[in-house]
Every structure is written in structure tokens, then in C-alpha cells.
Chain A
């Protein structure tokens, strides 16, 4: 709505997908989400940490994820995000969309060969 006039983030959709997928494994804090994505992709995808938190808060406002403060193993307060029912639905949609997209791109690439 009111934030629409902001510069559009081309990777936003992708970041959302990665975050939601990560959270589908269980609750996680922002740092955890970032390191998880880096580790899984072997540092191929590095999350813009500066944009991660606004994205998390935006998704929270959209109701896809919820957040709560909790204590970590070494007794520090961390903000834990977890996937909500709406977030699961959103993840399924985003995943399907991504799969369609990559499949389509794959077709183009294989045809060119």
C-alpha cells in the first residue's frame, strides 16, 4: 500500500521464498536464517543482511510469519521467527511459482543446446 512507491526489490520474491523455506524447518532467528541459507548454498547465495530484517518485519506484518522473543542456548534474548498457517500457504504458492519459472527457463536452455 503506502510503501509501494519504494524502489522495487527484484530479489524480494526470492528472498521471501528462501526465508519461508528455511523457517518451514522450524523457528529460527534472523542470524540463523542468514547462516542457514549461506551454508546450504555453499555461500553461493549470500543474504543482504541489511535487507533481511526489513523483509522479516514486512512478512511478519503480512502475517506469514510470527515472531517472539526467546532465550538462546547461551542465555541471550533473540527474536525467533516461525512460519504461520498463512505462511505455509504462501510458501507452497511461491515454491510452485519458482518451480514453474525454473522449469520454463530450463526448457529454454535445453532447447538452445
Chain B
């Protein structure tokens, strides 16, 4: 344990010195007393004792060495010295630490988001062995012929077959592709039915993920057979909020969509399923899908592809071999199913059918898909900010190293090793970096929280400063400290001893005509700032393009509210009447200009399409004639603000029993009816002529989905004519006279007046729904802009520092010039000229880098090819103005130099 004592000696070096001094004093006193006893005078005795002892300083030094680690002791001394220096220059320390805090804080904040969003792993056992059969977030059901190519979704039959095969998978679980909203009543409570989210999963789902219940048990394969009693596992959140965290709730009954489910367990607090989002409230066995979704069963329907699969690899198995084996099993199954008379086409399709396995350790995350690209850009941006911050602090230190030239020269002359000196300087840099890092972490917590609020409020993503984030910060801080510490250390390393000790007055002839280290750093800062400014203006313009883009509808003053008659027990026969009454009620509201209904609105993220045919249109070979189907109510064009180009809008006439009619968009007309008059033309979704639909109106093109893609052919069908499952959920749309938000309660109440049992979602403005689609663009624009401004600020501080330093160095020269008759404005120009040179070189370096960077981010830009003239000139303009301001102050100072004073200072 002697090292422990030594460490103590190292850390408390001073205390041990004091103790040694006492010990030594005792020795000398005793020796003196002895000499006195032998007859010396006290004075003689004292001197003799001291002589006898030898060098007390050396003894103290050697004792201290014995008590401590020498190298560590040096570090301790270096550190103490560095702290003293910082305390002596609080202004310098504050600027350096603040600058570093910005750089390190920005990196920590972005990394904490990257860590939370991109790197976090599912809170399950050995997540690395999980595999997903799709990386997409799309959910739903497809029915009909089997998928071709890569299979994202599976039928019950295929799932059961694959699960029974000897694959390199330890287990294979299925989840319903998408959870459902259900109505839940908890017996014993006086409350009305509440809405909740339920997700049907296979009995081995929890075992496959490796999650055990926090209380009670999870689902088991025994729960699956239709004969088994319905059971449900609830999420921790549901248990806490709705079941009041009551352990007695396990074993009680919840009425879900009218069926009694026994609650058998609660999942762990951090568990949310295989998708990174708010956890469903209930997990129920797959076989209960008809109860949960209130629709005919998919379980026994072999052409319904409604399941997503999650597998756990056997130990040692790879994804590739598991994918190959599963694909072979799938193809074998399909061949058997196709039977003996297998057509050549079908055989080729089967040959092409395969599964793709994706790394499941992070689960499926919509946020990850949406934000990974902007986050990557932000990572690069904050790295640039940190570089600029490092350049700034490096510059400050360099300036100080120049000022400390004499001190350093003296120390060298007294025999200090250069290595020792460099270590001293690096210790100072690392101390600064550490302080900046601490301040940065504190700042990062706020920035990260703000960032996360922009990204998502409900997803189980934490952008907290956790262990990995701190580790990252420590690494970044160390690198930063070494980076900006290098400049002054290198300076000390090659310092000319004699020159340093000589007078330090007068111009430095070596500096003229070429860039010194400080100037190089400033040029780099200007170039980096320009890149960030150009990036920020590109993102801002892209966002403006996205938001100003005419999408063909008018999102202002429009309020939306989804309602779900299915949960209130409506069937196909009764639904049309409900929709009609809701529409009439809404249209009569005082604040409402016009009202309509639809199955989904633009930018809602929903879509529904079907293959069909258009009379008179012959599909090209391989063309799949497919159009989107939106079911709408009366007054649709005026409520959404989509112009009616020809014919009439759907109205009250188009109800059950009336002729089948539809509106189509202009793309539909352009694509299929280029040569025919659209009005009166017919199209259909099946081959029966009596089911054909007549086009009565043509609407202007409106973008419903990704603005980066062209508008698809869309058909608008009468909602009140529809008797299928499609019509059992709808959305009320009202165009309000005033602010749509103020009409929200009115809208909710109106639907409740018609039927209080119909659940209504919170109304939200169409404007918000549209803007949500640009959240990643907004994130990029805001934060690249924010960090660009930071970079500009730091660069201008750096420029100011260098110009001021130059003026200070040349004060004498300026004084001489003024004394010899130079005009003040000559002096001003002299200072500005230097600034202009630095800025010009920085811009010259920055422009090509900006073009290269713009190419890298072009996929994130909307309506912009590459760097355009206005973005570039705007950025350069901002940069030059800020540089001019930064140079103006020292230039003024230079112009005010008093020649007499400057010369006397010699």
C-alpha cells in the first residue's frame, strides 16, 4: 500500500514539507543542546549543528521525493502553477473557458442526442442477437397475392411454418404490424370507457426479446390458442397511471372492446417493445386480433400479410446465414403451396422472394430514420464549432506565450528542460479544457433538452448526459486541450533562448510577409465560419422553400379531428347516417365557414391505394395501374382549399344508392386521360362494369405526401357511399372563420352531441400537421443556424484578438509613422488592410469547401441544387461585416496612438 501513502504525499505535498521541517527542527535543537552541554555558546552550537546537518533544503527535497511519486509531484506543481496563472488573469480564463464551453457543450449536446436516438439499444437481454425482418416503420396489412421480392410482412400461415423450421434462430416472434386503439373499461371504477393502445403479439414475443415481467408474468405460448382465456400484459406506464400502481390489479379484469381480459403482468419500466416509441398500454395474444381491431380475423386468412417478425439468433449464428436459411424455407413453402402446376412466372417470383434481416439491437425507430441524416450533419457542424473554439483558445494561449517569452527564456536559461516546459504548458491547456468541459456539460443539458423537445415528446428517447456521453466529453475535452495546447507548446519548443532574453521591443521582422501561427488559425476560423454560414443559409432557404411551396391546398384556418365510430360499435350499415349527421352539425357551427369529412388529410402520414383500371386506357407492359383512394364528404374542395378545375364537387346527393361517382386530381387526368374529356369518363377497381365509377369533377393537384416526390394520381370517392371497413374511421375537417385553435372545443362538442360514445382525438390545425413533416428540416435549419452564429461569434473574437495583438505589437511603429507625418486614416487603413487580407484568404479557402459541403448535404435540401449566388453572397456579406466590426475597435485604438507616448515607451 506504499503507493497510497506516496499518493497522499504527492497530493498533500505541502503538508508533508511542514511535517518534515518540524522533524528537522527537533533534530537541530537536540544537536544544539548537546553542543551547549559540551560547552559551546548557544550561537556557536546552533551553527555547528547546522553545519553538521548539511543542506536542509536538499534534505527536504529528497525527503519529499521519497514521500511522493516524482512525476506526479511535478504534475501537481504544474497544476498549482497553472491555477495560479488563471486566477491572475481572470479575463483571459473566462474567455477561454466560455469559448471551450460553447465548443464542448455543443458537441456534448449533439452527441447525447446521437447516443439517445442512433446508438441506444433496446432494454432487453443481449439485444445484439435480435434480428428484424424489416427496417421500415410503415405498418398495416396487405391482402391478396403473396409479396414479391423482399418480404416485409407475413401471413399467419407463413409465420407458423417458418417458426417450425430448424433455422439458425433461437426463436421467432410475430407482432401485429401496428397497434390499435381500443376502448377499455376497468370494472369497479365508475369511469366511462377510456381509450388505450393495444398491440397483439405472439405468445413467445417476450421470451424472444428476453424480457421478463416486472410483476406477474408475460405472455406465453399457452395464451395463444383460441380456447385459452383472454389475457393481457400492461405497460408500466399504464399500470402506474390507470391502475394506480396497485399490485392487486394483477389478476383483475379489464374489458377491452367488450371482451374481458385478465391482466396477468406488468412489463419493466424501461420496456417499450421492438419499436422505439411510446409503449402500447396492452400486449395481447395474436389470436385476439379480431377483438382488438373489431374486424374479421386475419389469423385464419392466409392471404392477409399482417405480421412483422422479430427473431433471436442462435448463439454464434450470423444474420447472413439466418437470412439465407429463412429465405430457403420461405421459398420451399411457397413452392409447396403453389402445387404441381407451377407457372414459369410464378416460379421466377418465388425464386426472387426472400427475407432481409436487419440488426435488431436498436429496434425499429422512426426517429432514427427521420433524423439520422440531419444529426450526422449536426455532428460535422459542432465538430467545426469545436475546431473554431480550439483555434480561438490556441490563439489566446499563443498570445500569452509570446508575452511570457521572457519568463520562458529565463526558465530555460536556469536549466529547465524543454520537455518539462512543454509539459507545463500542456498542463495549463488541459486544465483550461477541463474547466471548459465541465461548463460545457452543464450547458449541454439545456441544449440537449431543447433539441429533444424539437424531435419528439413521446418517444422513449433520453438525451441525457449519461455515462457514454460523459466518456465522449472527456475524450473530446482531452483532444481539444491537446489541440489548442500544441500551438504554444510548439512555440516554447523552438523558442530562441538568446533572442527571447534580448529586448522584446520593436517590430518583428520575421512576421512580415507571411502568416504567423495566429494568423493561420484566424484564416482557418474564417473559412470554417463561412462554411457554416453557407450551410445555415442553405438549410434556412430549404426550409422556407418547403413551407412556402404551394402544395395545392390551403392549410390556414383548417382544423382536423379524427373520430372512431368503429369503437362505438358502428357497422357498415349504420355508418353513413352518422357521418351525415356529423357533417350537418359541423357545417352549422357559427365559427365554421365550411366543413367536410375525409379518411385522411394531406401530410397525415396515411395513405391508401388500390390497383384498378381506367376505361379506354391500355396499361404499358409491366405497368401496375394504381391510384390513391381518399373518401371524402360534401364541400371537400372549398374546405381544404383545393381548386375545382372541372365538373362539380361531391355533395349530399352522392349517398348510398346513388350512382357511383368520384373526383380525380389533375395528375390522374394527365396520366390516364390525356386525350379524352375527363368528366363522364369511367374507371373502376374490379372488372365488373356495373361497379365502374364515373368522374364528375377534376381537382387541382395537391401534395398529400413527401414534397420531394411528384403528386400521385388520386381518386376522391364519396365517404357516404362507402359501406366497407374504410368508412368506419374518419376525420372531421372544418375551415374556421378565425383562429382554428379556438374552435377546437366547439368541434369536439359537436361530434359528442351527435353521439357521445364516439371517441374523438384532440383537434389540431392542418398547419401543424403540415409543419410536422418539416421537423427534421427545421431541426437542421435552426441548429445549423445557431451553431453558425456561434462559430461566427468565436471567429470574430479570434480576429479581434489577432488584430488587437498586431496593433499592440506595432504601437511603436505606428507612433514613429505618426511622428513622421502619417495621417490617422493611413494608420486606420494599415490595420484594415491586414484584416482584409486575412478575411480574403479565409473566404478563398472557405468557398470551395462550402461547395463540397453543399454537395454532401444536397439530399437534405429542398428546391436547391447547390450553393447559389445569394446564399454565398449573403454569407460572405455577414462574415465581412462582422470582421469589419471586430477590426474596427483595434483600428480606432491604433489611430488614437499618441506618438510621444508610444516613443517614450521604448
Bitwise, A99-112 to B at CB < 8 A (1) or not (0) is: 00000000000000
Cβ of B12 under 8 Å from chain A = no
Cβ of A40 under 8 Å from chain B = no
A2 to B26, CA, bound (A): 30
Cβ of A31 under 8 Å from chain B = yes
Flag if B70 contacts A2 (CB, 8 Å). yes
Cβ of B472 under 8 Å from chain A = no
Flag if A51 contacts B71 (CB, 8 Å). no
Cβ of B53 under 8 Å from chain A = yes
The dominant DSSP class at the A interface is: helix
Asked whether A49 and B71 contact (CB < 8 A) given A31-B30, A61-B6, A79-B26, the answer is no
Flag if B54 contacts A54 (CB, 8 Å). no
Flag if B31 contacts A31 (CB, 8 Å). yes
Flag if B23 contacts A61 (CB, 8 Å). no
Flag if B54 contacts A53 (CB, 8 Å). no
Q: Which residue on chain A has the smallest CB distance to residue B33?
A: A74
The dominant DSSP class at the B interface is: helix
Flag if B66 contacts A50 (CB, 8 Å). no
The A-contacting residues of B in range 33-67, CB under 8 angstroms, are: 34, 52-56, 58-59, 62-63, 65-67
Flag if A76 contacts B26 (CB, 8 Å). yes
Cβ of B407 under 8 Å from chain A = no
Determine which of B2, B23, B58, B63 lies in contact with A62 in the assembled complex, contact meaning CB atoms within 8 Å: B2
Cβ of B24 under 8 Å from chain A = yes
Flag if A79 contacts B23 (CB, 8 Å). yes
A63 to B20, CA, bound (A): 18
How many residues on the A side are at the interface (Cβ–Cβ under 8 A)? Answer: 23
Chain B neighbourhood of A2, CB < 8 A: 69-71
Q: Which residue on chain B has the smallest CB distance to residue A34?
A: B27
Determine which of B34, B54, B67, B69 lies in contact with A57 in the assembled complex, contact meaning CB atoms within 8 Å: B67
Asked whether A49 and B27 contact (CB < 8 A) given A54-B62, A63-B2, A77-B22, the answer is yes
Flag if A49 contacts B53 (CB, 8 Å). yes
Chain B neighbourhood of A6, CB < 8 A: 65
Q: Which of B22, B56, B65, B66 has the most CB of A within 10 A?
A: B66
Flag if B63 contacts A54 (CB, 8 Å). yes
Flag if B53 contacts A50 (CB, 8 Å). yes
Flag if B63 contacts A49 (CB, 8 Å). no
Determine which of A57, A63, A77, A78 lies in contact with B63 in the assembled complex, contact meaning CB atoms within 8 Å: A57
The B-contacting residues of A in range 51-95, CB under 8 angstroms, are: 51, 53-54, 57-58, 61-63, 76-79
**Shortest beta-carbon distance from A19 to chain B in Å:** 14
The B-contacting residues of A in range 12-54, CB under 8 angstroms, are: 29-31, 34-35, 48-51, 53-54
A29 to B24, CA, bound (A): 11
Chain B neighbourhood of A62, CB < 8 A: 2
**Shortest beta-carbon distance from B7 to chain A in Å:** 11
Q: Which residue on chain A has the smallest CB distance to residue B71?
A: A2
**Shortest beta-carbon distance from A105 to chain B in Å:** 29
**Shortest beta-carbon distance from A38 to chain B in Å:** 11
Chain B neighbourhood of A10, CB < 8 A: none
Flag if A58 contacts B66 (CB, 8 Å). yes
Cβ of B833 under 8 Å from chain A = no
The A-contacting residues of B in range 278-337, CB under 8 angstroms, are: none
Chain B neighbourhood of A31, CB < 8 A: 26-27, 30-31
Cβ of B5 under 8 Å from chain A = yes
Flag if A50 contacts B2 (CB, 8 Å). no
Chain B neighbourhood of A50, CB < 8 A: 53-56, 58-59
Flag if A3 contacts B23 (CB, 8 Å). no
Asked whether A61 and B5 contact (CB < 8 A) given A2-B71, A49-B54, A50-B54, the answer is yes
Determine which of B23, B30, B31 lies in contact with A53 in the assembled complex, contact meaning CB atoms within 8 Å: B23
**Shortest beta-carbon distance from B77 to chain A in Å:** 15
Chain B neighbourhood of A35, CB < 8 A: 34
Asked whether A3 and B66 contact (CB < 8 A) given A31-B30, A77-B22, the answer is yes
Asked whether A78 and B58 contact (CB < 8 A) given A3-B65, A61-B66, A62-B2, the answer is no
Chain A neighbourhood of B20, CB < 8 A: 53, 57
A51 to B56, CA, bound (A): 10
A53 to B30, CA, bound (A): 15
Flag if B26 contacts A61 (CB, 8 Å). no
Q: Which residue on chain B has the smallest CB distance to residue A46?
A: B52
A34 to B71, CA, bound (A): 31
Chain B neighbourhood of A51, CB < 8 A: 59, 62
Q: Please, could you name 5 A-B residue pairs with CB atoms under 8 Å apart, sorted by A? A: A2-B69, A29-B27, A51-B59, A57-B67, A77-B22
